[in-house]
Amino acid sequence: VLPFGVDKLHVFDAPGLFPYTSLPHSSILINLFKEEKPQICLMGATVIGRDLGPRVSSALTSGLTADCTSLEIGNHEDKKEGKVYENLLYQIRPAFGGNIVATIVNPEHRPQMATVREGVMKKEILDADYKGEVINHDVAKYVPETDYVVKVIDRHVEKAKHNLKGAPIVIAGGYGMGSKEGFDMLFELAKELHAEVGASRAAVDAGYADHDRQIGQTGVTVRPKLYIDENAPINTIADYVINGTVEEVIPKMIKYYKSHSK
């Protein structure tokens, strides 16, 4: 992780830390943060992050904004208190079912904590030769023995049915598809393009597609190279745009790719 610009890397290594259990990892972060007093703590909105983040923030009474889709640093004026706070973390996330985007700040408590939704940030190497400080810690000083009361005996990991997050091509359908049968056409086209099928919230709510195919602010964040969407802003500057009804366009695309695929 050092090439990504990490100045200090704190390492905790002990047999009882893998596989993940809540208590030891919570104790490590809680006690480390009490020592280091960081301004900001960010975690991925993964299964572990969604378990660990609330535990740490609760113990430190710092608050937590979950599932952020964007982050910024800026100033905040509290007109009621007559104060101006500098360099606060703007924690931006969908609210009220995705109908609005809320910006949340935490002026008084530290660290400012947030979990960040998968896929919304770019992973960029700052310097391949960057050298940060690596600090190895004695886990026993941070984790009491009572935290190891839970033992993982066995793990059963199911393979994901599909990979919307990493798909280079996504074909998305909305409520206008009209039915599950309408989505069947998208699946047929996706098969020819080696693509994944996504769905809007309205289509999922109507039962046209499974919930795990929902994309957007209230679903999976995707970064495809090709995204087929009639209302996408890029259509205003694109050289070529195919615009038509599902019944007209999709069967023609399926026929074309079937006849031209290797």
Nearest by Cα to 217 from 40, 64, 45? 45
DSSP, collapsed to helix, strand or coil, labels residue 54 as helix
Please tell me whether 237 is known to bind a ligand.
no
Please tell me whether 200 is known to bind a ligand.
yes
Please tell me whether 214 is known to bind a ligand.
yes
Nearest by Cα to 28 from 148, 149, 116, 113? 148
Alpha helices in the chain (DSSP H): 22-36, 47-60, 180-193, 201-205, 246-260
Q: Extract long-range pairs of 252-258: CB within 8 Å, 24+ residues apart.
A: 253/189, 253/192, 254/185, 254/188, 254/189, 254/192, 257/189, 257/192, 257/193, 258/192
Pairing of strands 83-95, 70-78: antiparallel
**Please, are residues 143 and 13 in contact by the beta-carbon 8 Å criterion?**
no
DSSP label at 9?
E
Please tell me whether 218 is known to bind a ligand.
yes
DSSP, collapsed to helix, strand or coil, labels residue 67 as strand
- As a whole number of angstroms, the distance between CA 186 and CA 215 comes to 15
CB-based burial of residue 213 (10 Å sphere; 0-12 exposed, 13-18 middle, 19+ buried)?
Answer: buried
**Please, are residues 13 and 46 in contact by the beta-carbon 8 Å criterion?**
no
Please tell me whether 16 is known to bind a ligand.
no
Binding residues: 200-201, 214-218
Q: Which residues are annotated as a binding site for FAD?
A: 200-201, 214-218
